[in-house]
Structure 1
Amino acid sequence: MSRIKLAVLFGGVSSEYEVSLQSAYNVLQNIPQERYEVFPVGITKSGRWLYFPGSYEMVRDGSWKTHPDCVGCSISPDRSRRGIVKFLPDGTTSCVKIDAAFPVLHGKNGEDGTVQGLLDLAGIPYVGCGVLSSACCMDKVVTKVLLEQAGIQTAPFLWFSKGDIDRLDAYKKEIARDLGYPCFVKPANAGSSVGITKVKREEELRDAVLLAFTHDDKVLVEKAMVGQEVECAVLGNRQLITGIPGEILSESEFYDYDAKYVSQSPTVVPARLSPALLDQVQETAKRAFAVLGCTGLSRIDFFVGEFGICLNEINTLPGFTSISMYSKMMEAAGIPYGELLDRLVDLALERAAE
């Protein structure tokens, strides 16, 4: 039986470019070689697409784009091609037909529905959520509105756009009255806690808002929820399973980019919760996954405290690095890394066949 031709996309025009390289390295190393013929495609920070034929170690160390045999390429939206078009040095092109794609891309321009739309146009099945659910989950404001409509608790919040910056003094009154301090100021569309500030007093608010606006033109302000930081992995399309929920033991003010990837805050699986609360987290995660129209996979993050279970955010393409929680939680549920990758591709093919 012929192997499945799988394009693995990595890098990207995103603040999470470096994380994507580490995730992709682990995916490339662990994808079952007996079942897949892998075609790595890297996207530089400036947005150039390159077919990469080199050692996976070059992905891990970031030198992949210097490989002498890299050639420009693109995913053709022409369904008669259904594959990767290579732009060869002699001025000709060649096309490699592929059966599925795994976009190992985090944050904007990869996890927000943009690449998913391109793959839909091309008629190529892909791992993860579709266009609408990817876009909705990337936008923290949209996520919260949809979840609250479904009766799933999130932190109290307000939001405003860049055009409202002159009305910040008026918003300060609402923040003091409805949210209080400390609160969190976040760009509505960004990943891995990039651009987030914990604001402890009103005088810090403007700088925090201006920082968030450097990442997006919509800002979310949330009440600080004091509790355990718990995550849950969900896998499936319609029949959903969950990993064993894990817990972040962050030693920072909050679980920001540095805490995740630089200082690497310790984690535990299972989370330090009662069996009843663990079950409740898993059921809430599956419900939120369905409400947002997710498919394939997502990591769903919660705060758990005296207020109950409060959903923080949904990550539709969570990290696949050696320290990432999604794969750890699924492994604790009996699904090792290689099998997990295999299942994700199967789910992509299953969804495309419906």
Structure 2
Amino acid sequence: MHTDDQLPAVRRVAVLGGGVNDEHDVSLASAAAVTRAVRALGLEAVPVTIGRSGAWGHTGGPPLSAADAVAVLSTCDVAFPALHGVNGEDGAAAGLLAMIGVPVAGSPVRAGALGIDKWVTKTLAEAVGIRTAPSVLVAPDADTASLPFAPPFVVKPTTGGSSNGVSVVRSVEQYGPALELARSTGDAVLVEQFVTGREVDIAVFRDRSGALRSGATLEIRVADGDVFDRSQKYDGTADFTVPARLDEAGHAALEAAAHTLYDRLGCAGVARFDFFVTTDGILLNEVNTCPGFTEQSQVPRMFAAVGLPYVALVDELLTAAVAAD
């Protein structure tokens, strides 16, 4: 852990994992990795889990009442939420921790709430000059006989992650089932024109000095006409290129867009920005204010490629959180 006489001492770190959503297991894996890193730094890790039903507990320990969970969290010097998706990444966890006075190694309520909603994120991005794919927000009673775009197009829930509920529609007959799948994962549904281009991601965090630091770009290589789906993300078959195949101007444009979005959303901690690189320039795909965070996840790979390995990255995020409090 960084030492600085002007910063409060950090000894106990709460690590939150689980959550009431379909990214529960992914979150537990991220939390376990963060816990290992905290212990490698010589600090006391306090793993706190949220079950699928919303019940609180210690990893491997007995259930906790909500009051007991707050009491445990309040004994910690800083918290690292590894909660992906709704009821966590959407600002819920950050709000609770802010209310009880525990510094957070992650984004505050506003950034989480904005970033979790793909429609809102696209609207904000367009307002600051960052292009996104043409899209429409589909009403709950939308007529499936009327297509918003000519195929192919993408149907996805506006909230959530891990590509849950996402489909590529290539024919009229596929639209109805795609809407049903998306609605089974989230209340609101977004339909986007299919983008032909390369998916390139970049991660950013603000360090203890207030400077924004970027990881290497990461390119996700998928078959033409396909999307980076849940199975590819977690079954070990993902094909990543780090750094991405970008020239200097392309890298500069991607990084500038990510830095702009980080600031305009009000992010803190680390956030990942996913773009499409096309022949006409870059388009934002989505923002993750609490991205996957195992040692093999995309964000740690990006920072390892610029000389910041996993444990050191966790150290930087904890130190920045305490410095900002």
For normalisation by structure 1, the TM-score amounts to: 0.84
Residues 295, 310 of structure 2: 8 Å contact kept: no
Report whether the alignment pairs 1:257 with 2:255: no
1:74, distance to aligned residue in structure 2 (A): 3.5
Matches within 5 A, 1:326-341: 326-341=299-314
**Using the alignment, how far apart are the partners of 2:174 and 2:63 within structure 1?**
48
The corresponding residue for 1:93 is none
Is 1:101 aligned to 2:79, yes or no? yes
Aligned to 1:51: 58
1:43-92 residue CA offsets vs partner (Å, 9 max, x unmatched): 1111111123xxxxxxxxxxx4xxxx434243679xxxx7417xxxxxxx
* Aligned residue in 1 for 2:249: 276
State the Cα distance separating 1:159 from its structure 2 match: 0.4
Contact persistence 2:293–2:299 (CA under 8 A): yes
- Does the Cα contact within 8 Å between 1:83 and 1:122 map onto a contact in 2? no
Residue in 2 that maps onto 1:148: 126
2: CA distance between counterparts of 1:39 and 1:345?
14
- Alignment deviations for residues 141-165 of structure 1 (CA, whole Å, 9 cap, x no partner): 0000011011101111010232x33
Percent of matched pairs sharing the same residue: 38
How do 1:95-174 residues align onto structure 2 when only pairs under 5 Å count? 97-162=75-140, 164-165=141-142, 167-170=143-146, 172=147
Unaligned segments of structure 2, at least 5 residues: 4-8
Q: Deviations over 1:98-154 (max 9, x none)?
A: 111111111111111111111111111111111111011000000000110111011
Amino acid at match of 1:74: A
**Letter of the structure 2 residue corresponding to residue 8 of structure 1:** V
SS in 2 for 1:225: coil
Question: Does the CA-based 8 Å contact 2:10-2:78 persist in structure 1?
Answer: no
1:84 has 2:69 as partner: no
Instruction: Provide the C-alpha distance between the structure 1 equivalents of 2:236 and 2:323, rounded to a whole number of angstroms.
Output: 39
Structure 2 residue 179 is the aligned partner of structure 1 residue 242: no
Q: Tell me how far apart the structure 1 counterparts of residues 131 and 254 of structure 2 sit (CA, whole Å).
A: 12
Kept in 2, the 8 Å contact 1:32–1:338? The answer is no
Q: Distance in 2 between matches of 1:155 and 1:283?
A: 19
Q: Does 2:12 correspond to 1:42?
A: no
Aligned residues: 315
**Aligned mates of 1:219, 1:307 — CA distance in 2:** 27
Partners of 1:290 and 1:343 in 2: how far apart?
A: 19
**Letter of the aligned partner of 1:37 in structure 2?**
E
**SS of aligned partner of 1:31:** helix
- Larger Rg, first or second structure (1 or 2): 1
Deviations 1:268-288 (A, max 9, x none): 110011122112211111111
Q: Which amino acid counterpart does residue 194 of structure 2 have in structure 1?
A: A
- Stretches of structure 1 that go unaligned for 5 or more consecutive residues are 53-63, 86-95
Cα 1:27–1:232 shift into 2, 3 Å: same
Amino acid at match of 2:297: S
Cross-structure match for 1:5: 12
2:166 is aligned to 196
Q: 1:349 to 1:51 in 2, by over 3 A?
A: same
Matched, 1:72 2:45: no
Contact 1:155/1:311, CA 8 A, preserved across alignment: yes
Looking at structure 2, the residues matched to 159 and 228 of structure 1 have their Cα atoms a distance apart, in angstroms, of 24
Q: Give the distance between the partners of 2:278 and 2:119, measured in 1 at CA.
A: 22
The answer to whether the Cα contact below 8 Å between 1:184 and 1:221 also exists between their aligned partners in 2 is yes
Partner of 1:215: 185
